[in-house]
Amino acid sequence: AESRGWKFPMVSHAGSTFAADMGYVSAKGGWMPGVSVFRREGHTIMRVSDTGFSPSDDFCTLWHFFDLLPGGIGEWPMKPTHAGP
Protein backbone atom coordinates (compact mmCIF):
# COMPACT_ATOMS: atom_id res chain seq x y z
CA ALA A 1 0.00 0.00 0.00
CA GLU A 2 2.78 2.43 0.85
CA SER A 3 4.48 2.00 -2.55
CA ARG A 4 1.21 3.00 -4.24
CA GLY A 5 0.73 6.01 -1.99
CA TRP A 6 -2.40 4.55 -0.39
CA LYS A 7 -3.31 5.95 3.00
CA PHE A 8 -5.91 4.42 5.26
CA PRO A 9 -6.76 6.74 8.14
CA MET A 10 -8.42 4.93 11.02
CA VAL A 11 -11.08 6.33 13.34
CA SER A 12 -12.93 4.97 16.36
CA HIS A 13 -16.54 5.29 17.44
CA ALA A 14 -15.56 4.85 21.11
CA GLY A 15 -17.42 7.30 23.32
CA SER A 16 -19.95 8.17 20.62
CA THR A 17 -23.31 6.93 19.29
CA PHE A 18 -21.92 6.42 15.78
CA ALA A 19 -22.33 2.61 15.68
CA ALA A 20 -25.91 2.91 16.93
CA ASP A 21 -26.63 5.74 14.49
CA MET A 22 -25.40 3.50 11.65
CA GLY A 23 -27.68 0.66 12.83
CA TYR A 24 -25.00 -1.69 14.17
CA VAL A 25 -26.31 -1.98 17.74
CA SER A 26 -29.25 -4.26 18.57
CA ALA A 27 -32.30 -3.25 20.59
CA LYS A 28 -30.72 -5.09 23.54
CA GLY A 29 -27.51 -3.06 23.18
CA GLY A 30 -25.34 -5.77 21.64
CA TRP A 31 -23.05 -5.20 18.67
CA MET A 32 -24.25 -6.16 15.21
CA PRO A 33 -21.62 -6.66 12.49
CA GLY A 34 -21.80 -4.67 9.29
CA VAL A 35 -20.06 -2.25 6.98
CA SER A 36 -20.85 1.22 5.66
CA VAL A 37 -19.26 2.97 2.69
CA PHE A 38 -18.85 6.73 2.75
CA ARG A 39 -17.95 9.19 0.02
CA ARG A 40 -16.58 12.68 0.46
CA GLU A 41 -17.49 15.39 -2.03
CA GLY A 42 -15.93 18.68 -1.03
CA HIS A 43 -16.88 19.32 2.59
CA THR A 44 -19.78 16.84 2.55
CA ILE A 45 -19.48 13.19 3.62
CA MET A 46 -22.31 10.90 2.54
CA ARG A 47 -23.13 7.31 3.40
CA VAL A 48 -23.56 5.71 -0.02
CA SER A 49 -24.17 2.08 0.94
CA ASP A 50 -24.28 -0.29 3.87
CA THR A 51 -25.10 -3.86 4.77
CA GLY A 52 -25.26 -6.01 7.86
CA PHE A 53 -23.45 -9.32 8.20
CA SER A 54 -25.12 -12.65 8.90
CA PRO A 55 -24.09 -16.32 8.81
CA SER A 56 -25.31 -16.56 5.20
CA ASP A 57 -23.67 -13.39 3.86
CA ASP A 58 -21.25 -13.31 0.96
CA PHE A 59 -18.46 -11.31 2.66
CA CYS A 60 -15.94 -14.09 3.01
CA THR A 61 -13.34 -12.19 1.00
CA LEU A 62 -12.33 -8.58 0.54
CA TRP A 63 -13.46 -8.54 -3.10
CA HIS A 64 -17.14 -8.32 -2.24
CA PHE A 65 -16.47 -5.12 -0.29
CA PHE A 66 -15.29 -3.45 -3.49
CA ASP A 67 -18.73 -4.05 -5.03
CA LEU A 68 -20.15 -1.64 -2.42
CA LEU A 69 -17.98 1.25 -3.62
CA PRO A 70 -19.65 3.84 -5.87
CA GLY A 71 -17.49 2.79 -8.86
CA GLY A 72 -17.60 -0.93 -8.11
CA ILE A 73 -14.37 -2.76 -8.79
CA GLY A 74 -13.37 -0.35 -11.55
CA GLU A 75 -10.11 -1.46 -13.13
CA TRP A 76 -9.45 -4.28 -10.66
CA PRO A 77 -7.89 -6.72 -10.46
CA MET A 78 -4.71 -4.69 -10.49
CA LYS A 79 -1.59 -6.30 -11.84
CA PRO A 80 1.10 -6.83 -9.18
CA THR A 81 4.04 -4.44 -9.37
CA HIS A 82 6.25 -6.37 -6.99
CA ALA A 83 8.36 -9.46 -7.55
CA GLY A 84 7.06 -11.18 -4.42
CA PRO A 85 8.81 -12.27 -1.24
Cα distance between residue 61 and residue 85, in whole Å = 22
Domain boundaries, the chain: 2-66
**41 DSSP β-pair partners:** 44
Quickly list H helices, 1-85: 18-21, 63-66
The 10s digit of each residue's pLDDT in 7-55 is 877 778 889 999 999 999 999 989 888 889 999 999 999 999 998 887 6
Task: Look up the pTM and report it.
Answer: 0.54
Rounded-to-integer distance, Cα 35 and Cα 9, Å: 16
Looking at per-residue confidence, does 56 or 17 come out higher? 17
pLDDT digits (tens, 9 = 90+) for 59-81: 666 767 777 888 777 766 666 56
pLDDT of residue 4: 78
